[in-house]
Amino acid sequence: MDRDITNRFRDLTLEAFVQRLSSPDPVPGGGSAAAVVASLGAGLLTMVASLSLGREKFAAHAETLAAAQAVGQRLSDRFLTLADDDASAFAQFATARRLPRETELEREARGAAIVAAARCAAEVPASCVEACLELAIAVESIAGRSNQNASSDLSVAALLVEAAARAAAENVMVNLPSVANQLWAVDVAARMVELLAAISDLVQRTRETVAGGATRDPLTASQA
């Protein structure tokens, strides 16, 4: 998706982003906020993995930790891109709704533009939820296999990814009624339910493992 790379959210200070979020301007909105929250969760995953790699105590989990670190680094960047994409998608939707509708031809053009923009506005946060599942899997994989001094940070990462996924899914669902292809909309809605259930399960398992304080065996090749 086209983005103005001179005005990316990643380039703002945290204070500036919050101020933008607080303004009457509808962008950034909930979708961008969800993606930024997910990026914070990815950053925490990277931190916990980094604090564990290279330590003899976690040598048996080095491969899992390195994989989680890579996922965290990649997704922290991916989510920030999605934050910009979400704002761009909503802006396109808002523009489509403002198109003239005086004549039949204008109404047809406006309707087609709204449908296309609504689909895009649903697809971007849907991609965010998909990425949240990948992040939740990585977070759960190092619970009980990483530095216990940072276990609370891992729990926070899990909580953030679930909150971000649920928030992004809300932005998917709100746009589906404006999409003309109802079969596609039903499929997407079902996928959101499936993804959220999987993420919630992973987050619960992560928190239970962290709370239990027990160490876990290394992942096998089939589990990785």
pLDDT of residue 105: 95
Which class for 3: exposed (0-12), middle (13-18), buried (19 or more C-beta within 10 A)? middle
pLDDT of residue 220: 82
Instruction: Kindly report, residue by residue over 24-63, the tens digit of the pLDDT.
Output: 998 899 999 999 999 999 999 999 999 999 999 999 999 9
Q: What are the extents of the domains in the chain?
A: 28-212
Structure tokens at 182: 């109802």
User: pLDDT above 90 covers what percent of the chain?
Assistant: 91
Q: What is the CATH number of domain 28-212?
A: 1.20.120.680
Q: Minimum mean pLDDT among 58-62, 145-149, 176-180: which range?
A: 176-180
Pair 131, 77: CB distance under 8 Å: no
**Confidence at 223, pLDDT banded by 50, 70, 90:** confident
User: What average pLDDT does this structure show over 67-90?
Assistant: 97
pLDDT of residue 26: 87
Instruction: Kindly report, residue by residue over 196-218, the tens digit of the pLDDT.
Output: 999 999 999 999 999 999 899 99
**Confidence at 6, pLDDT banded by 50, 70, 90:** low
Measure Cα distances from 81 to 4, 35, 37, 128 in Å.
Answer: 11, 8, 13, 10
Pair 172, 192: CB distance under 8 Å: yes
pLDDT of residue 190: 98
pTM, to two decimals: 0.93
User: What average pLDDT does this structure show over 143-159?
Assistant: 97
Instruction: Kindly report, residue by residue over 190-199, the tens digit of the pLDDT.
Output: 999 999 999 9
